[in-house]
Amino acid sequence: MLNYILRKLALIIPTLIGISICAFAFVRVLPGDPILAMAGQHGVTPERYEILKEQFGYNLPIWQQYFNYVGGLLQGDFGVSLATKRPVLNEFFTLFPATVELALMAMLFAVAVGVPFGVLAAVKRGSWIDQLSMSVALAGYSMPIFWWGLLLMMFFSAYLGWTPVSGRIALSFFLKPITGFMLIDTLLHGNWAAFVSALRHLILPAIVLGTIPLAVIARQTRSAMLEVLGEDYVRTAKAKGLSGRRVVNVHALRNAMIPVITTIGLQVGLLLGGAILTETIFSWPGIGKWMIDSISKRDYVAVQSGLFLIACIVMVVNLIVDVLYAVINPRIRVK
């Protein structure tokens, strides 16, 4: 097992190097200039421009800029944001819990709805239930997030008034962050009303962000279930006279879940990507919205370090999934 983890870890190093190059190159291939973007309507004088360029090291050859950046990363220095002048690492981890909270809720929604729908569709294969749920899944998968978010917001928040329009919690609650996770913080403060408010604020963003993973999970569950339902052991279970429900829930679903869990793990990157749009629509103060703002301000430092951190997190999550998978299924370790 230890060997397996070490092998996986060794693979991470070249990946990290690749990511650092991509993150570094990404902002630089965007048109625009970080120094000019910092200045406002009046611009900067050519002399001042040169001074600032030198100060930030943007006058150096590109390879040297890259090595300075990587040198900083190796020492844990992620730089200071050009726009806000605050350390990028502080900003990132102030906002990160909001994104994680949203992503977890979205995943919870996707699994809680997607798995039962997938199972139902497989069991009732070919029926109208199957057709309907797979059509809905296809629609969900093709849904443009921005449009879908605005549509839900206009109907449920503006028209019906059932859910809040945006934000993380009603503004009448003023709680100092402890963990950064609003649901946990409100409970730590012992404020039940605030907890309910935070939960209500999570509903729409979680549905919007969870829609695509839901569709993927439902389809994956359906196909995995169909495969498993044709296996000998399921036939044996049926032959033993077990109830249909027991056969599906205990014998089939358990085995069908293995590929589904992998799918869920792979959705993490997708969730972080989707979070960019969802957070923008719902004014959710997470890293997605922060990245968009940083890109539009050509904040090189925030973008390159932010992308690197996000990529690292996705990698760590995938590593954990791999390890868990190996724990569940020992055959994988040998391969």
Partner 1 sequence: MKLMKTLMAATAMAALAVGTAQASQLIYCSEASPSHFDPGPQTGGNDFDASAHTIYDRLVEFAPGSTELVPGLAESWEISEDGLEYTFKLRPGVKFHTQPYFTPTRDLNADDVLFSFERQWKQDNPWYEYLPGMTWDYFQGMDMPGAINSIEKVDDLTVKLTLNEANAPMLANLAMQFASIVSKEYADQLAASGDLASFSTQPVGTGPFQLVDYQLDSVIRYQAFPDYFAGKQPIDDLIFAITTDASVRAQRLIAGECDIMPYPAPADIPTLQGNDKLTVLEAEGLNIGYMAYNTTEAPFDNVNVRKALSMAVDKQAIVDAVYEGAGQLAKNLIPPTMWSYNDAVVDHVYDPEAAKKLLEEAGVSGLTTDLWAMPVSRPYNPNAQRVAELIQADWAAVGVTANIVSYEWTEYRERGKQEDRKGPFQIGWSGDNGDPDNFFGTLFSCAAIGVSNYASWCNEEFEGLIQNAKATTDPAERTALYEQAQVLFKQEEPVLTLAHSKVFMPMNKKVLNYTMSPLGTHSFVGVSIAE
Site residues, partner 1 (CB under 8 A) = 30-33, 36-45, 48, 52, 55-56, 80, 82-86, 91, 94-95, 150, 153-154, 157-158, 161, 164-168, 170-174, 176-177, 192-197, 200, 280-283, 285, 289-290, 293, 298
Q: How far is the CB of 60 from partner 1 (least distance, A)?
A: 15
By the 8 A CB rule, do 89 and 279 touch?
no
- Cβ closest to partner 1, residue 3 vs residue 41: 41
Compute the least distance from the CB of residue 192 to partner 1, in Å. 5
Give CA–CA dist 147/277, Å, rounded.
10
Among 328, 299, 231, 260, smallest CA distance to 58 is for: 299
Of residues 170 and 226, the one with the C-beta less far from partner 1: 170
CB atoms within 10 A of CB 189: 14
C-beta closer to partner 1: residue 71 or 177: 177
For residue 119, the minimal CB distance to partner 1 (Å) is: 26
Nearer to partner 1, 83 or 311 (CB): 83
How far apart CA 46 and CA 313 sit, in angstroms, is: 40
Nearer to partner 1, 133 or 186 (CB): 186
User: Residue 101 CB, nearest distance to partner 1 (Å)?
Assistant: 13
Q: From CA 68, how far away is CA 308, in angstroms rounded?
A: 15
Give least dist CB 41 to partner 1, A.
7
Tokens, residue 267: 């959705």
Q: State the nearest-atom distance from the C-beta of 184 to partner 1, in Å.
A: 16
Q: How far from each other are the two terminal CA atoms of the chain, in whole angstroms?
A: 12
Nearest-angstrom CA–CA distance, 115 and 221: 6
Closer Cβ to partner 1, 33 or 130, answer by number: 33
Least CB distance to partner 1 at residue 85 (A)? 4
Nearer to partner 1, 86 or 240 (CB): 86
Q: What is the DSSP string of 290-310?
A: HHHHHHHTT-HHHHHHHHHHH
- 265, burial (CB in 10 Å: exposed 0-12, middle 13-18, buried 19+): middle
Per the CB < 8 A criterion, the answer to whether 219 and 142 are in contact is: no
